[in-house]
Chain A
């Protein structure tokens, strides 16, 4: 399997310290040294280092971070924005919250380095509205950084200027979608933007913009400090580093786990999280947040990098692992997920707006004992017809569970419908 058994901790290395969020502690543990190094580097060299590190977006889409930075038009004199996606709305995902609470300066330092790489002077952190505590802590860290000359003008005596603006969301899942987030940041309804143009060309307020996830950016100082080869070596061929896995559901020890991306799903569940609670049997597991297709117990011997879940028709997504034991009704789980997507669809594109509601109604009817034989095929057909036809990936995310829950657990749905018809 080639699993990297290193116990190296990057993101969580200071989590055990009570004052890990304070600037003094951050500096004591080597903080802001990567910034000093990056200030001496050419911007293109920073981007190159991140490319070589094989760092991929850890928010969900797993796009190569360095490549994304490279999309900023060369020589453009327009303002460029760095936007941090701290909306963390994907059900089953809660890693960024810990990162911002326990290590906010790593985010600030990562932003400074990324800003230098892309030529940005203003960065925004779009933070989920419900994240009051992480926001307070991050806000405190930003103030500390300004006071210590890590933000503002002539940072650490250099000619580099950078400001950070914290922006709190108002509680819509779609505002975690890259361009929905930008619309919301601009003060508009959080509707994803039609592409092209892509944000790197025309993003926030019409200017070149890079949107990165919290965790992704927090990997950057470590890459600069310890080198691309070290970071890449922690991972697999397709992805470097470790990452945080948010494990929830019916495991003995749920929580955030840092592990190299080569870790298997089985090891995460049974070693890191102590296995299924109450000695019960594993029934199903969602590997990458609610939008990822569900996996059966015989599909968990996969590495949790970008390729592993893909090999089973699912995705690593936000690495939010939802473990379901044998007590779970999959039709009920589908109804819950379908209700979420019907509630959160922004309503912009017709297929998503109309069919998320329709599929929720059908799934609810099945659970309520009024299911019809043809419902399952209708859901599958509607989901497949809508897939890939919308502005953003929201609907494709909804289709993941719609199709996989039914295709992998069809017998359970059919039994329920048959028993309802009999009753």
Chain B
């Protein structure tokens, strides 16, 4: 652990730390383009120069390791002048088309020019012209004139995805990023190159020309696309709703978590948010009698459900919960089932097409909270151990055999399940009452007698437990669409209306539900909602 002095401040850093990271530890920012902590050192942009005592010339901080007793200065006149020079070199052939560039507002050419440049431009000759608006793959588009050739994207495809689609072609100031012959940039993680591109060279085809980044709001969240639970930021457009074709969610971006996803997310997660603003969203409770469906208020919908629950005996009720639900939702559901004495509780629905998986981030289980459902005992017999109820398939069979008065479905698209569609249909037709609670309409909701609209995870807060047992918080990015409510809230109202006294039914915030479950479930012992750090908290084995 070498100790060194940076700008007069002494810091101790792990062996092998470079001067960019060491300076960060000392509270100093060394501007850089080509350096990225996930990638090999390129040393190409030459922007990260710092002065080191007893070294005659400024050195690049990215390729200089901190050593014991080193004295580093990041803000000498010489360093500042060098940065100005490097900024000028980076910009002489740049098209300066910020007004039409998606990167504007989060472009490190802009940011560093304002911070470290501010020179008077001297370049008056014709700039070098290169290809513009070149699609590299389904998600990435290249403007070679804006590219500063930092090679981050090339190294990413070589070193992180090991797919090697990109290279730098030609020489000198005609160098440009491009695809190797016969390749397209369509690996499962291609969108990350848009994030690590420090300028407007690689931009996101989905986000392109949708909305200026300074109109976006940001919320920390967790991807619900698979059991990994990659940390993300949800970027929403609430103020310029005429942009972005009415989409409130403008884009998802990865959020660094050293233990889960590092800097990355997969393309399926990144672009898998269209359902949130889709026309299929359920906005209002629906009551269906025969072929007639009518939108109703919650004041009418909830009593319908309560009555149905009261009329059926516990063994005539089947609850098919979802691993899309948060820990809080599942906890309130478990409490409710316990109070009702319902043992037919499950969440596992085998998918017809098994999920893809790799040895990087993508998990075969496409749900964010299967592990949470497991730990919280949402299993037949789990709620009342020793007295097994019906599992999912058992419930459907019972419904087909007209043994269920109430089948309460959460979120699942049963038409994507591994079961024969005819069996599923017969089950929905066989149950006396089908309640569908979820975010989006599907074949099941179209046949349900009562449809209850759930808020999407970006429209509420809560926690998911990923496959490793890491409990992670997601925050509210948007207000729920229409009259959708968080699942736990709907469940609490039902519990209260049934006259149950458990304080969890009186909870007003996710936090209260989580803290209640943490004080009861041993795996969560010692956790508190507010105490869960950005990096998450591990459940007890």
Contacts and interface: CB of A to CB of B under 8 A. Distances in A.
Interface stretch (A61-69, A89-97, A338-346, A401-409): A338-346
Contacts of B172: 342-347, 353, 356-357
B89 A354 contact: yes
Interface stretch (B120-128, B412-420, B491-499): B120-128
B45 interface: yes
Given A350-B45, A388-B57, A389-B82, A357 B173 contact: yes
Interface in B81-100: 82, 85-86, 88-90, 92-93
A353 B43 contact: no
A189 interface: yes
Contacts of A348: 44, 149
A356 B175 CA distance: 13
Interface residues of A, number: 32
Interface string B33-77: 000000001111111010000000110000100000000000000
Contact of B148 (A343, A345, A350, A374): A350
A392 B242 CA distance: 52
Given A351-B89, A354-B89, A194 B41 contact: yes
Interface string A330-374: 000000000000111111111101111110011001000000001
Contact of B63 (A194, A385, A386): A194
A347 B175 contact: yes
A358 B123 contact: yes
Contacts of B167: 189
A361 B122 CA distance: 13
Nearest to B90: A350
B89 A378 contact: no
Contacts, number: 90
Given A347-B149, A390-B46, A353 B173 contact: yes
Residue of A347, A351, A355 with most partner-chain B CB within 10 A: A347
Contacts of B86: 350-351, 389
Contacts of B93: 354, 357
Nearest to B84: A385
A342 B44 contact: no
Nearest to B173: A357
Contacts of A345: 171-173
A199 to B, nearest CB: 16
Contact of B175 (A172, A353, A365): A353
A51 to B, nearest CB: 26
Contacts of B170: 347
A358 B47 CA distance: 19
A10 interface: no
Contact of A350 (B46, B57, B125, B171): B46
A363 to B, nearest CB: 11
A389 B171 contact: no
A175 to B, nearest CB: 11
Interface string B149-161: 1000000000000
Contacts of A361: 125-126
B174 interface: yes
B171 A355 contact: no
Contacts of A351: 46, 85-86, 89
A252 interface: no
A385 B57 CA distance: 12
Contact of A391 (B44, B88, B149): B44
Contacts of A346: 171-172
Nearest to B123: A358
Interface of chain A: mostly helix, strand, loop or mixed? helix
A356 B173 CA distance: 8
Contacts of B173: 342, 345, 347, 353-354, 356-358
Contacts of A365: 125
Contacts of A344: 171-172
A351 B47 CA distance: 10
A266 B275 CA distance: 82
B43 A350 contact: no
Contacts of A362: 125
Contacts of B92: 354-355, 358
B268 interface: no
A343 B128 contact: no
Nearest to B40: A194
B63 to A, nearest CB: 6
A349 B57 contact: no
A386 B46 CA distance: 10
A48 to B, nearest CB: 31
Contacts of A347: 149, 168, 170-175
Nearest to A343: B172
Contacts of B44: 348-350, 391
A354 B148 CA distance: 10
Contacts of A353: 89, 149, 172-173, 175
A194 B43 contact: yes
B119 to A, nearest CB: 11
Residue of B172, B174, B175 with most partner-chain A CB within 10 A: B172
Given A194-B63, A357-B173, A189 B168 contact: yes
B175 A349 contact: no
B146 to A, nearest CB: 14
A99 B417 CA distance: 76
A358 B125 contact: yes
A386 B87 CA distance: 12
Contact of B49 (A196, A342, A356, A389): A389
A29 to B, nearest CB: 43
Contacts of A354: 89-90, 92-93, 173
Contacts of A385: 82, 85, 88
Nearest to B169: A189
Nearest to B82: A389
B171 to A, nearest CB: 5
B125 A172 contact: no
B149 A350 contact: yes
Nearest to A374: B122
B171 A391 contact: no
A389 B174 contact: no
A259 to B, nearest CB: 34
A142 B170 CA distance: 34
A355 B89 contact: yes
A18 B208 CA distance: 70
Given A348-B44, A350-B148, A356-B173, A386 B89 contact: yes
Contacts of A172: 171
A361 B49 CA distance: 28
B367 to A, nearest CB: 43
A385 B82 CA distance: 7
Contacts of B88: 385
Contacts of A174: 171
A346 B175 CA distance: 8
A396 to B, nearest CB: 11
Nearest to A341: B172
Nearest to A381: B122
Given A347-B175, A357-B173, A385-B88, 16 more contacts: A189-B167, A194-B43, A343-B171, A347-B168, A347-B172, A347-B173, A348-B44, A350-B89, A350-B90, A350-B148, A351-B46, A353-B149, A353-B173, A354-B89, A378-B122, A388-B57
Enumerate the 6 nearest inter-chain pairs by beta-carbon distance, A residue then B residue, closest first.
Answer: A347-B175, A357-B173, A345-B172, A385-B85, A194-B43, A361-B125
24 contacts: A172-B171, A189-B167, A194-B41, A342-B173, A344-B172, A346-B172, A348-B44, A349-B44, A350-B45, A350-B86, A350-B89, A350-B90, A353-B173, A354-B92, A355-B89, A357-B172, A358-B92, A358-B123, A374-B122, A378-B122, A385-B85, A389-B85, A389-B86, A391-B44
Interface of A: 172, 174, 189, 194, 196, 342-351, 353-358, 361-362, 365, 374, 378, 385-386, 388-391
